[in-house]
Amino acid sequence: MFTHKRSDFPEGFLFGAATSAYQIEGHAYGGAGRAMWDDFAATPGNVVRAEDGARACDHYHRYESDLDLLRDGGFDAYRFSTSWARVMPDGRKVNGEGLEFYDRLVDAMLERNLKPCATLYHWELPSALADLGGWRNRDIAHWFGDFTEAVMARIGDRTYSVATINEFWCVSWLSHFAGHHAPGLRDIRATARAMHHVLLAHGTSIERMRGMGVGNLGAVFNMEWAAPADDSPQAAEAAALYDDYYNHFFVSGAFKGTYPDRLVAALGPHFPDRWQEDMATIKVPLDWAGINYYTRSILAPNDGPWPHHHSVEGPLEKTQMGWEVYPQGLHDFLVRTAAEYTGDLPLYVTENGMANADTLTKGAVQDDARIAYFQSHLQAVRDAIAKGVPVQGYMAWSLMDNFEWALGYEKRFGMVHVDFETLDRTPKASWHAFKEILT
């Protein structure tokens, strides 16, 4: 169990749990249209066992009992996402059934005294828009603005907070350069355009919501600490470049209206024409920022193509994902982000957690490794707060085991165990650990 107490954190500090639509809802239900991830999963070799989010956790039909788990665990907030492909199956025309689901979902949160923390986009791009180029197409900023207005016209009067896009790096780099996520490209020109357009869509979305009077608006950045593999200048440069394209690029664009010099030099020829003219929209003022943090990478230089480096295995304890457990990185990102970018704006840890090979034994799951992970990362948050960083909340990833993208249902991140045959939910020891300190 945790050694922390709720009283160890500032008054009003939010404890919550996070999920995303495609990972838990069941995309086959409620009139949702085909999503880019449906297409990606249908292509052999992209997803473990060719699994997809058609049924997932069937949260679409079980949301009330799932929200009961949050309430009963003493959590204050629920971070959820709205599926673009559910709300606009063809990317343009609104599906009333989709909006009605989110209407019911938000009302059910409020009935349980849970603060609704909405994320507009967590990768559920309609296939119809992907076929038009998706994030490579500049028009996506306007399409996303229209989606934003459709959702916020329905639930924006009751949300506690709204984030535009979850993890800009994953939407652009991981999906268009590394090819590990949908649409599965390995194209530097597509990557550069997606990196810029995802920020332009973010800024456009914020402007649309400001015009509607929706408040408490922010963005969620995933960050991964970059460490050099040795003391050589080449390793230091490898880590600095990784830090730039993974961490600095998106937060610098959103808060300073500039991109790191290394990235402009490398990617500038591939950016859209007159991209500098978009920076005023990209730099639109925000009310808060979220950081998703899991691990660090150790970078070594190589003689391959740009970016001329690769990750090497580190010495620390690993999660089921093979990710090192490195809580110091969360502390350092909170401190650095406030010092360099966000100043006095509230910061939230919007995702933090670990995958573990959990097993259900006699009706219980003893996930001690996850409890230790949360314990150490909550301490990192407390240490940052002690240095004056305005951290105002922590969202555990995830409420329940779910569809872990290209890894299918194999990796379990949940505080609640899901049997993917029966869909039965069983709170794990980590859920009970939170309940002990929150209730």
DSSP characters over 149-190: HHHHHHHTTT-SEEEEEE-HHIIIIIHHTS-SSTT----HHH
Please tell me whether 23 is known to bind a ligand. yes
Please tell me whether 397 is known to bind a ligand. yes
What pLDDT sits at residue 310?
98
Q: Which amino acid is at 429?
A: A
What pLDDT sits at residue 244?
99
Whether 351 is a known active-site residue: answer: yes
Please tell me whether 306 is known to bind a ligand. no
Q: How confident is the model at residue 424 (pLDDT cuts 50, 70, 90)?
A: very high
Residue-wise pLDDT tens digits, 2-22: 999 999 999 999 999 999 999
Domains of the chain: 6-438 (3.20.20.80)
Give the N- to C-terminal CA distance of the chain in Å, as an integer: 14
Contacting residues for 431 by C-beta, under 8 A, at least 6 apart: 69, 73, 415, 416
Q: How many Cα neighbours within 13 Å face the side chain of 15?
A: 24
Q: How many Cα neighbours within 13 Å face the side chain of 248?
A: 18
Q: What is the mean pLDDT of the chain?
A: 99
Q: How confident is the model at residue 48 (pLDDT cuts 50, 70, 90)?
A: very high
Residue-wise pLDDT tens digits, 319-359: 999 999 999 999 999 999 999 999 999 999 999 999 999 99
Residue-wise pLDDT tens digits, 211-250: 999 999 999 999 999 999 999 999 999 999 999 999 999 9
Omega prior to 307 cis, within 30 of 0: yes
What pLDDT sits at residue 145?
99
Do the Cβ atoms of 344 and 398 come closer than 8 Å?
Answer: no
Q: How many Cα neighbours within 13 Å face the side chain of 88?
A: 22
What pLDDT sits at residue 356?
98
What pLDDT sits at residue 9?
99
Residue-wise pLDDT tens digits, 165-211: 999 999 999 999 999 999 999 999 999 999 999 999 999 999 999 99
Whether 167 is a known active-site residue: answer: yes
Residue-wise pLDDT tens digits, 111-163: 999 999 999 999 999 999 999 999 999 999 999 999 999 999 999 999 999 99
What pLDDT sits at residue 412?
99
**Burial of 351 per CB tally in 10 Å (0-12, 13-18, 19+):** buried
Please tell me whether 166 is known to bind a ligand. yes
Q: Is 2 helix (H, G, I), strand (E, B) or coil?
A: coil
Catalytic residue among 351, 410, 421, 436: 351
What pLDDT sits at residue 206?
99
Please tell me whether 100 is known to bind a ligand. no
What pLDDT sits at residue 358?
98
Please tell me whether 294 is known to bind a ligand. yes
Catalytic residue among 51, 124, 167, 224: 167
Is the whole-model pTM more than 0.95?
yes
Q: How confident is the model at residue 417 (pLDDT cuts 50, 70, 90)?
A: very high
Residue-wise pLDDT tens digits, 68-120: 999 999 999 999 999 999 999 999 999 999 999 999 999 999 999 999 999 99
